[in-house]
Structure formats: C-alpha cells, structure tokens
C-alpha cells in the first residue's frame, strides 16, 4: 500500500465509516422515530452512506430540545432541580427532618420526594 492510498483511507474512509456507524446506531436506538422513518433512514444510510449520515446527524433533534414526556427543559426546570438537590443535601446532613424534607419537596411541586439516603 502506498502512502497516498494510506492517507486517503485514514483521512477520508475511516471517518466516513465512523460517522455512518454512529448514524446507524442512533437511528436504531432512537425511540422518537417510527418504524417507517427508521427503515427510510437505514435505507438511505446503506445506499448513500456518507451523505445520508451527514444529513441525518445534521437534522436530528438537538440535545437541548425537550424530550417528549419530560416537559420543558428551560431555566425554571433547572432551578427546581437545583433546589431539590439542595433539599436532598440538607436532609442528608441532618438539617431537615423527614417532615421538613417532604414540605420542601412539596413546595417545589416536583412530585414524590426522592429517597435522600
């Protein structure tokens, strides 16, 4: 194998294969895609691997978008999570008894309290 061929393999082929494998794994594991969409993406990834993989990875939902069934991922949700973690830590240190911890969690409106211990 000459040097030019080796460079092409390392610079072009290996990254293209890696991106295609990542796209195939993501398509198969993604629960938000229906069966038809999965079949369509997988067909595209097999027929036109490099281009379809780049198009799929560029068009898939951002990690910052809220996931279905998980509500808003905005700053308010983050603030409630931080406050919940503070309450859990205070309970762990003994600053809050069980009733105080449950009251703090109820005030946040996050549902049933987690097991702090």
Per-residue pLDDT of the chain (117 residues; tens, 9 = 90+): 688 888 877 887 788 888 888 888 888 888 778 888 889 999 998 898 888 888 888 887 665 555 454 445 555 556 777 788 888 888 888 888 888 888 888 887 755 555 555
| Exposed/middle/buried for residue 19 (C-beta within 10 Å: 0-12, 13-18, 19+) | middle
Q: Residue 109 corresponds to which tokens in the numbers above?
A: 């409106």
Q: Provide the pLDDT for residue 65.
A: 54
Helix (H) or strand (E) holding 75: helix 75-93
Between CA 39 and CA 106 the distance in angstroms is 45
Q: Provide the pLDDT for residue 70.
A: 46
Q: Provide the pLDDT for residue 69.
A: 45
- pTM confidence score: 0.48
Q: Provide the pLDDT for residue 72.
A: 52
């Amino acid at each position: 194998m000459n040097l030019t061929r080796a460079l092409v393999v390392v610079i072009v082929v290996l990254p293209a294969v890696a991106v295609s494998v990542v796209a195939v794994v993501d398509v198969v594991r993604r629960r938000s895609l229906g069966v038809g969409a999965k079949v369509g993406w997988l067909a595209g990834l097999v027929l036109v691997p490099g281009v379809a993989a780049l198009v799929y990875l560029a068009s898939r939902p951002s990690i910052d978008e809220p996931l279905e069934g998980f509500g808003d991922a905005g700053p308010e949700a983050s603030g409630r999570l931080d406050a919940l973690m503070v309450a859990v830590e205070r309970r762990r240190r003994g600053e809050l008894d069980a009733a105080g911890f449950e009251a703090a969690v109820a005030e946040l409106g996050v549902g049933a309290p987690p097991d702090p211990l």
